[in-house]
Amino acid sequence: MRFENTGIENLKADLVRLDEVMRSHGLLRESQWDYERVTYDRKFEIKEGTYYLRVQGYAVEGDVGSHDALIQLMKPLLGKHYYPHGVEYGEGEHFPEHLVKQCEKILEDVKKEIEMFAE
């Protein structure tokens, strides 16, 4: 599921500050990056299954590996994990309403914080 019109996809932010904001909302980058892209995930284990809120971005300036990059964020995603195949984001997936609302709130809070320092 793609979250439309969150405004996050319009933001560019410094990688180091972005890492701090995302971490404070449970979205972790861990080792999910290369020199041009980043992925932040938050895992939800609920009775309906395991889900991931994902925010991705790419470097428009600098280098992720050197922790000196300006990141353009993309539209956030919500996916359901299926063992051992991975995460599915497709149209045919069911996403519990309570989880969608929780993710929308997280994204709203993240956006407000990033806007304070975004370019």
Give the CA-trace dihedral at 60, 64, 68, 74, to 10 degrees: 40
pLDDT at 93: 85
On whether the pTM is more than 0.75, the answer is yes
8-115 fold: TATA-Binding Protein (3.30.310)
State pLDDT tens for residues 23-80. Answer: 999 999 987 778 899 999 999 999 999 999 999 999 999 999 889 999 999 999 999 9
State pLDDT tens for residues 79-102. Answer: 999 888 888 888 788 899 999 999
The 8-class DSSP code of residue 35 comes to S
Are the beta carbons of 2 and 90 closer than 8 angstroms? no
Q: Helix and strand tally (H, E) in the chain?
A: 2, 6
pLDDT at 95: 94
Q: How far apart are CA 55 and CA 24, in angstroms?
A: 14
Give the confidence band of 11 by pLDDT, cuts at 50, 70, 90: very high
Distance set, CA 36 to CA 20, 59, 69, 90 (Å): 19, 5, 9, 25
